Amino acid sequence: MTSLVMNLGLLAYFKYANFFVENVNAALNSIGVEQVGWTSVALPIGISFYTFQTLTYSIDVYRRIHEPLKNVSDYLLYIMAFPQMIAGPIVRFTHIADQIVNRKDTLDDKLVGFYRFSIGLAKKVLIANVMAEQADLIFDSNLNELTTPMAWIGMLAYTFQIYFDFSGYSDMAIGLGRMMGFRFPENFNSPYISTSITEFWRRWHMTLSGFMRDYLYIPLGGSRVSSNGRLYFNLALVFLLSGLWHGASWNFVIWGVFHGLFLILDRLFLKNVLNAIPKVFAILITFIITMFGWVIFRLEDFSKIKTYLYELVAFDENLLFIDVIPAFWLLLIVSIFFSFLIAFKFGKKLQTYFFETDIYGNRSHVILFLVSIVLLWLSVSSITSSGFNPFIYFRF
């Protein structure tokens, strides 16, 4: 209990104290009362990720799922393993405990890790950064002058930016860990091919979904509750907290409620409807719902969210004004191709070839090594010629 209180207390202070005081001051100001004096708290990078890891250690040891580590140095290694320390994936203690004290460091692991790292870096630098530049150009502009085409382009750009940014970092973390002998869990599984929001959360940020399921949803009773009302309450609460985990701002809370609402609708009727129509339409509907959610996630100001969402469906007279950066259309096609690749049989075969590392032969190693060298060279060239663009999830 002491460990839980300390970890959650530190997370609450560093991540949510400013948010709490700002809302208290706004309430006091509305009734004419003097505001509370406050010095803003600096947010440590990636605090949500390593706080959750410390929680899994305490909870898994308490539940006797795994015995505690014998050395403090091993515990510090678990918490501070740098590849995934600041942006995930969230590595549970039970997933990695045995690897901490007994892991093998082989040449194959180093090669496979290098391939995965190169793919992740290319996702971030060659795709996400271009999408980020386009998304920032639109989302950070005067939204009162936004047109419907630009609203859709901005939404598409941010949709692919956040996916390739975060999944790229996860690939890099998994690759670096593999080079050191660690097997970190997968964090993404082509989430944009989902046919429902329920499936989307089985494929997107899977380590967070698993954490919330096993450490919050199931202890609340999960789906084994006495009434549907309690089930819907559990879903809504879990995703409200999931949204708040992403950031101390009301738009993240609304985003969490937005996804919680669609999970409830899935339980009520929506999933049956989507299962009854052709799969391609189910994927398209789910993808559009997800994109609208990303608009809420991206914009913190309520009035801007309202303006942006309205313009998406306004279809005003100024339909021809489209301002895009160089290479955007090409990278958009590349983004769509790789996001929906495994919805097709050849895509599944390609994914198996690149990621089923236990079946690599000498020929595969040669091909993947050459591909990785090319991706690494392109990525480094892009980094040296472009500005700083940090990973989105560093601030979470």
Q: What pLDDT, on the 0 to 100 scale, is given for residue 93?
A: 83
Q: What's the confidence (pLDDT) of residue 15?
A: 79
| pLDDT in the model for residue 391 | 60
How far is residue 48 from each of residues 16, 79, 318, measured CA to CA in Å?
11, 12, 43
Nearest to 197, CA basis, from 289, 269, 295, 297: 289
User: CA–CA separation, 255 vs 250, rounded Å?
Assistant: 9
pTM: 0.89
Average model confidence (pLDDT) across the chain = 85
Active site residue: 95, 205, 246, 259, which one?
A: 246
Q: Check residue 59 and give its pLDDT.
A: 86
Give pLDDT, residue 393.
54
Give the model confidence (pLDDT) of 167-184 as tens digits.
999 999 999 988 888 888
Report the pLDDT value the prediction gives residue 339, as an integer from 0 to 100. 93
**What's residue 103's pLDDT?**
80
Q: Catalytic residue at 246?
A: yes
> In this predicted model, what pLDDT tens digit does every residue of 288-333 receive, in sequence order?
999 999 999 999 989 999 999 999 988 766 655 567 788 899 999 9
- Supply the pLDDT for residue 375: 92
80-89 burial, b at 16+ Cβ within 10 Å, e below that, comes to ebebbbbbbb
Which residues in the chain show pLDDT less than 70? 34-35, 37-39, 82, 84-88, 316-322, 355-361, 387-396
Tens of pLDDT, residue by residue over 239-298, are 988 888 888 788 999 999 999 999 999 999 999 999 999 999 999 999 999 999 999 999
So what's the pLDDT on residue 223?
75
- pLDDT for 394: 54
For residue 224, the model assigns a pLDDT of: 79
* Structure confidence at residue 14 (pLDDT): 78
